[in-house]
Amino acid sequence: MSYATYQLIHVISLVLLTAASFYALGGPTPERRKKSLILTGILSLTMLVGGFGLMARLKLEWDGWIFVKIACWIVLSALAGLAFRKPKSTCTLGMVGALAIAIAVFMVYRRPF
């Protein structure tokens, strides 16, 4: 696949994973649990594939900023599951998710390490 294809997969998965995670944070009811966790799991996997595809196409080395982005991906991927385990912490989890996304975007554009 081409660079553009991996980039499209990565960015669309990011947007949809963010939406699905914040949807779960908005109302973590037992009826939503199964569908929400399946959806966020699939989107998390496609985001990972897109990201590693981009790394391969750009021939990037394992710099520090990539590890920070992986940590942000783990946080974003865990949000939906945490929302159903701790429904009273959804506001805090939402702020953590927003911070993880902001840090990941910063890492892409600045690549500080």
Distance, CA of 77 to CA of 79 (rounded, Å)? 6
User: Is residue 26 over pLDDT 90?
Assistant: yes
DSSP 89: G
Q: Give the model's pLDDT for residue 113.
A: 83
Task: Please compute the mean of the pLDDT values over residues 56-74 and round it to a whole number.
Answer: 96
Q: Where are the domains of the chain?
A: 3-110
What number is the average pLDDT over the span 33-62?
96
Query: Stretch 15-38: mean pLDDT, rounded?
Result: 95
Residue scoring higher pLDDT (113 or 62): 62
Reported as a single tens digit per residue, the pLDDT across 70-113 is: 999 999 999 999 999 999 999 999 999 999 999 999 999 999 88
Q: What is the mean pLDDT of residues 50-76?
A: 96
Virtual torsion, Cα 31, 33, 38, 40, nearest 10 deg: 120
Interval 29-53 mean pLDDT: 96
